[in-house]
Amino acid sequence: MPKLHRKDDGRPIRDAMARAGLSIPQLAEATRRVDPAGKGVAAATVGRLAGQGKTARENCELRTAWLVAEALHEETSAPLQDLFAMPTGSTSNIERSSPDAEEE
């Protein structure tokens, strides 16, 4: 599954968190409430997505982005597209498999 990229080094996530009045642990808890499975996103992962510096993470799974965006959307109406960039389509046209019976 493709990974989504946080926009502007996480600034939109931090701004939405500030508007919602949510800390990293509070946002992690909010993701548990919107997750149908009740698992949510770990506070450490939220911190890496919202953070800056060496520990920041630029990419995440679609499910993670959706849960963070959904939790923030309930408080700020910020859609997923405001927080994360969708991956671009692949431009690769190289055949990645070889025939089963290659002869020399």
Evaluate if residue 96 carries a pLDDT over 80. no
pLDDT at 90: 58
pLDDT at 7: 93
User: Can you list the domains of the chain with their CATH numbers?
Assistant: 3-83 (1.10.260)
Report pTM. Answer: 0.79
CB atoms within 10 A of CB 68: 30
Cβ contacts of residue 30 below 8 Å, gap of 6+? 22, 40, 71, 72, 74, 75
| Three-state DSSP state, 100 | coil
Q: Which tens digit of pLDDT belongs to each residue from 19-76? A: 999 999 999 999 999 999 999 999 999 999 999 989 999 999 999 999 999 999 988 8
